Amino acid sequence: MISARTFFRRFGGLLRKEFVQIVRDPSSIAIALVMPVVLLLLIGFGISLDARNVRFGIVDENRSVESAGLFQAFANTPYFRPFSFLSSRAAEAALMRGDIEGFVVLRSDFSRRVTDPVRAADIAIVVNGVDANNARIVTGYAQGVVATWLLGHRRDRARPVLSPVTVENRYWFNPEIRSTNFIVPGLIAMVMTMIGALLTALVVAREWERGTMEAMLASPASMTEILLGKLVAYFVLGLGGLGVSVFIGLVVFEVPFRGSAEVLVGISSVFLIVSLAMGLLISTVARSQFVAAQLAFLVTFMPALILSGLMFDIESMPHWVQAVTTVFPARYFVSSLQTLFLAGTVWPVLLPNLAMLVGFAILFLALAIARTRRSLE
Amino acid sequence: MWRRIASLILKEFKMLWKDRKSRMVLVVPPLVQLVLFASAATFEVSDAALGLWIEDRAHPAQELVSRFEASPAFRVVARFDNPQAVQEALDSQKVKAVLHVGQSFSADVAAGRPARVQLLLDGRKSNAALILQSYALGIVESFNLARAGQAVAELNMHPRAWFNPNFDSRWFILPGLTVLLTITATLLITALSVARERELGTFEQLLVTPLQPMEILVGKTVPALCIGFVEANVIAVLACLTYGVPFVGSVVLFNVSIAIFVLSAVGIGLVISSVAKTQQQAILGVFLFLSPAMVLSGFTTPIANMPDWAQALTHLNPIRYMVTLSRGIFLQDLPWALAWPQLWPMALIGCVTLSYATWLFSRRLE
């Protein structure tokens, strides 16, 4: 059994070696500090679910006060930029070319039938369904514009207006429904997943590829110490990345932060250990940088984008996919960050997430150590 | 000359195929991702946990509530009688939304006064919240319509979605996913094959062989091109067979587009690997290019929604053009004339990056 003093001396030496290596090779610093800046800025500004200025055709076969009024109603909303077409055929061609997202057709008898008490007017709303999600949103907006116009039209003609029931929407935690407010915390989680896994996966895979890992294992330091040394060094680097990400979120994107900073650092640290350990595991399994890179991309970026609740609602997925999402740690971190940023320190949400993350940290570390030990024999 | 190129191509394939692990990462992940992500990536919301906070027991209020209960979008999981309980349930994510009907609702409706209900939504998940809001609006509108009767309807709206009548999310996710999975494989293969040779010093050896720079380029390009073709076609066939996505366009146009797209990807991969000194830097370059390029390609959110500067940047992104092409070919039988505006920018990106790579290969000789 070695004394505590020799352990710390040895461990201190290992740590120093890792830091020298980090400083010498700019790519690990780039992963931790440059990647979050580039990814957060590009993706954070680029993702937007708020449709605006949708190019929309109005096929006006009617040429009446009513049809001109409806055109104006489309022009008055921030959602649409209407273009007038004389025939459905011209509008259809524009839709095929992708010049417009959709169009409405006002038949030649539109103004007569909209005032006729017996025969109702028909309006066809055609949208380009190639982007199904956008198509659904645009259809909803268009129906809304027509409905609002109709209300005004009735009022002008002094028809009895039966006041309809209206819905007042209140968004808790995000009253002005800025999509950046919920996307940016999720993006930070995504970026942290990539940083953690990339740092260890690539660096250690390279050590395996070059044979320096075997050289280190042949030294008096134990394998657990070696892995721990790497973990601590990259943990420090990863925390720097987290700091950069949170700073960009708060200052550039102006996302509110309502939780406690200590809890944020605590949960993020646990998550960082999870993703660093995941990277260690990848590198010991892969052994080559090519395979490690493919695996790291596979288990970090795409799952963090699609399976974490960042873009798509987990509870709406089929049950078997929901079951699969539970094995990707990013899911728990996305939920924690969204709550910490927008809602506050809500323990009923944070505790289960934290428990899962701690579980993953232990599991991945144990697996990484076990795999490395086995590969030595 | 052709024999030389052929032997280089053979060598590249052997490099990829000799290792069981690198063989696995080329074949298994795309298939797993296809199945998993296609099922996961849906913008529809169903069975959303709804809380009810009803302070009005009269008939109109109960009728509205029963419409919410009957909707497949919502599942009523809790009933509240005070704002504290509502707050707690929303905070702890027990419910996604709460429907609040105030005391005067039925009286307002009966008297013809403007009546309103409140929908409280969890803004942490704005995306789901926005969709739920539109569902709720639909329910209330149908309630209004039923109350007004047929007499007031002077206008009927007939919404129709071309190319995807049921707004099926998978029909737009899968053609995009085909593109993303194809570029992930091809870009990494080319970027790493040159970076690995440079790191190991075998690239210099390659340069002193009788191979011309142009021949090295062809040798590095063809394997990626083959893998891209196989991957794109297999994924497209699987998308049609397992998920019932229609493929109404031209197979020839699809493959021509894939060829140009993969060439541009190869070009970008070669540029990255020529800038990088080590494999690690090459991988980092690939990640830094690929992850924003995937998100800013129109794959998940429309390009038209982005700020103008981001829209301008997407013109440098080959994935943007290929996603448009892929969706157009799958769903709308895009004619060649309309495909052209998407094809030539990709070809241009390919030309520029590939000639830069060739120039780089020849310059290293001196």
Taking contacts as CB-CB distances below 8 angstroms, the residues of chain A near B165 are 129
Same structural domain, B356 and B237? yes
Cβ distance of B43 and A136 shorter than 8 Å: yes
Q: Is residue B24 part of a domain?
A: no
pLDDT tens for B161-183 read 888 888 788 888 899 999 998 99
Cβ distance of B292 and A115 shorter than 8 Å: no
Same structural domain, B181 and B330? yes
Give me the residues of chain B with pLDDT under 50, please.
Answer: 150-151, 366
Out of B162, B184, B215, pick the residue that ends a domain: B162
Q: Write down the pLDDT at residue A222.
A: 78
Q: Is residue B21 part of a domain?
A: no
Q: Write down the pLDDT at residue A207.
A: 81
Same structural domain, B150 and B177? no
Q: Is residue B108 part of a domain?
A: yes
Q: Is residue B8 part of a domain?
A: no
Q: For residue B200, what is the enclosing H or E element?
A: helix B169-200
- Work out whether strand B97-101 and strand B74-79 pair parallel, antiparallel, or are unpaired: unpaired
Q: Write down the pLDDT at residue A160.
A: 56
Q: Write down the pLDDT at residue B151.
A: 44
Same structural domain, B175 and B137? no
Taking contacts as CB-CB distances below 8 angstroms, the residues of chain A near B184 are 297
Same structural domain, B120 and B204? no
The CATH number assigned to the domain holding B55 equals 3.40.1710.10
ipTM of the complex: 0.81
Same structural domain, B122 and B175? no
Integer Cα distance of B276 and A26 in angstroms = 12
Give chain A's domains with CATH numbers.
4-47+178-373 (no CATH), 54-156 (3.40.1710.10)
Residue B75 bridge partners (DSSP)? B49
Q: For residue B142, what is the enclosing H or E element?
A: helix B126-148
A contact test, residue of B305, B323, B325 with most A CBs within 10 A: B305
> CB-based contacts of A285: which residues, under 8 Å, 6+ apart?
A295, A371
Q: Is residue B293 part of a domain?
A: yes
Q: Are B189 and B16 in contact (CB under 8 A)?
A: yes
For the residues of A15-61, what is the DSSP string, one character each? HHHHHHHHHH-HHHHIIIIIHHHHHHHHHHHH------SEEEEEEES
Out of B117, B135, B162, pick the residue that ends a domain: B162
Domain span including residue B117: 48-162
Q: Is residue B324 part of a domain?
A: yes
Nearest CB among A96, A142, A312 relative to B40 is that of: A312
Q: Which of residues 264-293 of A touch B (CB under 8 A)?
A: 286-291, 293
Q: Is residue B12 part of a domain?
A: no
> CB-based contacts of B184: which residues, under 8 Å, 6+ apart?
A297, B30, B290
Same structural domain, B218 and B198? yes
Phi, psi of B100 (to 5 degrees): -115, 120
Taking contacts as CB-CB distances below 8 angstroms, the residues of chain A near B284 are 27, 30-31, 35, 198, 202
Out of B142, B162, B182, pick the residue that ends a domain: B162
Same structural domain, B191 and B146? no
Percent of chain B with pLDDT over 90: 26
Give me the residues of chain A with pLDDT under 50, please.
Answer: none
Q: Is residue B244 part of a domain?
A: yes
Same structural domain, B118 and B252? no
Same structural domain, B76 and B117? yes
Same structural domain, B222 and B150? no
Specify the number of domains making up chain B: 2
Same structural domain, B261 and B280? yes
